[in-house]
Amino acid sequence: MFKTLLARARQGYRTAAYPTQEPVLPALFRGRPELDPTKCAEGCRECVDACPTGALRVTEAGLELDTGRCIFCEACVSACPEGAITFTRDWRLASSRRDGLTVTGDERPKVDALGRELRRLLGRSLRLRQVSAGGCNGCEVEANALGNVVFDGSRFGIEFVASPRHADGILVTGPVTTNMKEALLMTYEAVAEPKLVIAAGACAISGGLYRGHAEACDGVEGLLPVDLYVPGCPPHPITILDGLLRLLGRI
C-alpha cells in the first residue's frame, strides 16, 4: 500500500491542460493543410498524381484538398515543385459538415455546437459507443488514448461505454467493411434517440486508403447521418477531443 502511494507521488500529475492551454505537439506534426493556388503552374498535376487517396483535385476554381480523404502523408508536398501545399501544426481539423473538409486556401473547418435542447438532454456527459468497422486499428488506438490520464476525456464527461443502450451516440472508425456493415447498422439502431454519429479518420469519412475496394463501403457516407467528421490517419487524440468539445459547445 505504502509503495503504491509512493509510486503515485512519483508518477505525478500528467493531465494536459487542454483547452485552457494549447497542446504541446511535435515539431514535425502534420495538421491542417493550407494551399496557395497562386503558386500553381498552369496545367500542373504533380500533387494530384502523387496523392495515394485521391484527396487532391484541380477544378475550374483551382486546387482543392479534401481532408476527409487525406492521410496526411505529405506525398503532395514532396511532389509540388512550387511549394503550394503546406501542412501546418494546427490540430483543429474537425467539421460538422462534409463539405467543410474541403481546403482551397487557408480556411479553418468549423464545428457547429449541438442545439441547446440536445445539450440540455446530454447534461454534462457524452457517452459514446465506439464501433470499429474495418480499418487498421490506428484510429482505435488514438480514440482509446482519450481515456488515459493525459487526454482524460472523463473530465468533460466524455467516455466510451460498453453498450449502445448506454450511449448518446457512436464513434465510427474504419471504411465500413462489407463484413461489418450489418453490425454497425445494428449498433446504431440500438442507440436510443436522439443520437449522434461521429466519423473519425479518413477511412470512416471516405474509405481512406481503401476507397473503391469491393470489400468495403467507402466509409459511413450514405449509411448514417454524420454529426461530426474528424479527419486524420489516424487523428491525434487532441484532434478528436477538440472536435468533441466544440460539438458540445465547450470551446
Binding site for other proteins (CB under 8 A): 3-4, 7-8, 10-11, 14, 25-30, 49-53, 71-75, 129-145, 147-150, 160, 162-163, 174-175, 177-180, 183, 187, 209-210, 213-216, 233-234, 236
Which residues, other chains included, contact 12 with Cβ-Cβ below 8 Å and sequence gap of 6+?
none
Q: How far is the CB of 120 from other proteins (least distance, A)?
A: 28
Identity of the residue, 100 or 143, whose beta carbon is nearer to other proteins in the bound complex: 143
Identity of the residue, 113 or 183, whose beta carbon is nearer to other proteins in the bound complex: 183
Q: How far is the CB of 133 from other proteins (least distance, A)?
A: 7
Q: How far is the CB of 40 from other proteins (least distance, A)?
A: 20
d(CA 142, CA 125): 20
Q: How many helices and strands (H and E) does the chain possess?
A: 8, 10
β-pairing, 126-132 vs 102-103, is unpaired
Instruction: Dihedral sign for Cα 29, 18, 203, 205, please.
Output: negative
Q: How far is the CB of 246 from other proteins (least distance, A)?
A: 21
Identity of the residue, 4 or 20, whose beta carbon is nearer to other proteins in the bound complex: 4
Q: How far is the CB of 142 from other proteins (least distance, A)?
A: 7
Contact 200, 220 (CB under 8 A): no
**Across 99-139, where does the E strand assignment appear?**
102-103, 126-132
Identity of the residue, 100 or 196, whose beta carbon is nearer to other proteins in the bound complex: 196
d(CA 109, CA 100): 6
d(CA 64, CA 166): 40
Contact 68, 208 (CB under 8 A): no
Identity of the residue, 29 or 156, whose beta carbon is nearer to other proteins in the bound complex: 29
Q: How far is the CB of 228 from other proteins (least distance, A)?
A: 17
Helix (H) / strand (E) element for 138: namely helix 138-144
